[in-house]
Amino acid sequence: MAERVERIGLGLILGAVGVVIFGGTLPFTRLAVAGLDPWFITFGRAAIAGCLAALVLLATRRRLPDAASLRTLALVSLCLVAGFPAFSALAMTRVEASHGGVVLGILPLVTAVFAIRVADERPAPLFWLAAIAGAAIVTGFALRGGTGAIGLGELWLVGTIFSGALGYAVSGVLARRMPGWEVISWALVMALPIALPVTILLWPADAAMVPASSWWGFAYVTLLSQYLAFFAWNAGLAMGSVSRVSQVQLLQIFVTLIIAGYLNNEHIDGVTWLVAALVVVIVRVASRARMARA
């Protein structure tokens, strides 16, 4: 019994480590796009993380997945290696990281919707009410203080949410047959034939003139957000159970706000904190409703 409690505790700690790393993705991406082209960031993080993933797969002597898994991995690669990084980098050229962090707060909710389709579940009506409420609150926040219309930055954030949600849901299906870290590793390796040459092509001609902070931001999203964070997160899910550890992800929105305020010198007003708290409550309600019906 004591051993099981320790295992769950360690799983929660590892899950929290993953959440903290993921929470820094938007603030560090905003640092990176201040001096680097968003497309270079997208392909560069895929290329470098892909080379690291290839070394890990070779060192652990993992077998090539079967044809069906490779087709699913191609979709994961399209969503998490191409779509999510590209949309988030483009969004950070238009909006602040704190703004993006609140909008992306409904990512677990949208992921649950995709997972429902994959698993052919029938959630309780409360889940759908929470989903609609979450979408309404986030849309209102996106329109707050603007011209009454959704800007290009918000549209990029929508792309970030949907690519991330679909990628996570499909990854969850594959994780039933192989470890989560192996899923992201193969997804990265599959992107290498395109990511590597494009990275070389887009490499900054005046790399020495790029601010050091942008390179640090690029290094963070490449090594941590794109790859190593999945090791801690997936290990935590395996040790502490998905239902327990996944709830730690509700803290990610606050981690993003704190890091954005410190790293990007962004002013986080009371309304932003309030909306963040509401989003967390709604995602929590939806999660409980879905699990109860399942």
Q: What is the pLDDT of residues 184-230, one digit of tens each?
A: 999 999 999 999 999 999 999 888 899 999 999 999 999 999 999 88
pLDDT score of 49? 96
Contact 133, 278 (CB under 8 A): no
Per-residue b or e along 173-208, where b marks 16 or more CB atoms closer than 10 Å to that residue's CB:
bbbeebbbbbbbbbbbbbbbebbbebbeebeeeeee
Is 1's pLDDT higher than 70? no
Is 47's pLDDT higher than 80? yes
Q: Name the residue ranges covered by the structural domains of the chain.
A: 2-204+213-293
Cβ-proximal residues to 281 (8 Å cutoff; 6+ apart), any chain: none
Is 58's pLDDT higher than 60? yes
Is 73's pLDDT higher than 70? yes
Mean pLDDT of the chain: 85
Highest mean pLDDT range out of 85-99, 131-145, 176-190, 221-235?
Answer: 85-99
pLDDT score of 211? 94
pLDDT score of 291? 57
pLDDT score of 147? 45
pLDDT score of 134? 81
pLDDT score of 286? 74
Look at 92-96, 141-145, 204-208, 268-272 and tell me which has the smallest mean pLDDT.
Answer: 141-145
pLDDT score of 87? 96
| C-beta atoms surrounding 168 within 10 Å | 21
Identify the band that residue 4 occupies on the pLDDT scale cut at 50, 70 and 90: low
Contact 21, 196 (CB under 8 A): no
| pLDDT, mean of residues 135-164 | 79
User: Phi first, then psi: what are they for 21, rounded to 5°?
Assistant: -65, -45
